[in-house]
Amino acid sequence: MDAKQIAAIELAMAEEHKRDKEALDRLKRFIGNGATGTNGHSSKALPVQFEIPQVEDMVDDVINNGTIRSRVAEVFAADPERRWTIPTMLQYLKSVNYPLHAQKPEVTLSGAFRRLNEIGKIKRVRRGHGRNPHVYKAITEEELSGKSEEK
């Protein structure tokens, strides 16, 4: 990227920021005037009060919501030393009659493995290549405490 391209991007971003600010100002004026909607009711809303959830809470919600990701997390947690690949997990889930609704459940499992790896529930112990798939295992409490001591 050269200086002209960067300047063009910067100008476009400044214009977009200006439009966003103008839209926000219009919204503030509209709400501030206590405008009424077409049905005669006031659209002046009460202030919304809510808590922003912590990342840890969101991770727990993801793990405990009954999805395929939560089932995969349970399987990993049941035997933390066992190593799993996507094909072996698929074979296991089929053997316990877990309902797999996707046309290609391997893709769904790949997403579940990837997300669990990102949030630190499992780790990849061997990188796959070609026909050999990645190998994963659960992260144990000892490994988690070892990581926190290193920081």
Domains belonging to the chain, first-starting first, are 1-48 (no CATH), 55-150 (1.10.10.10)
pLDDT in tens, 95-132: 998 888 889 999 999 999 999 999 999 999 999 999 99
Residues 6+ apart with CB under 8 A from 38: none
pLDDT in tens, 22-63: 988 888 887 876 555 555 555 555 555 555 555 555 444 444
Q: What does pTM read for this prediction? A: 0.54
* Contact status, residue 37 vs residue 43, Cβ threshold 8 Å: yes
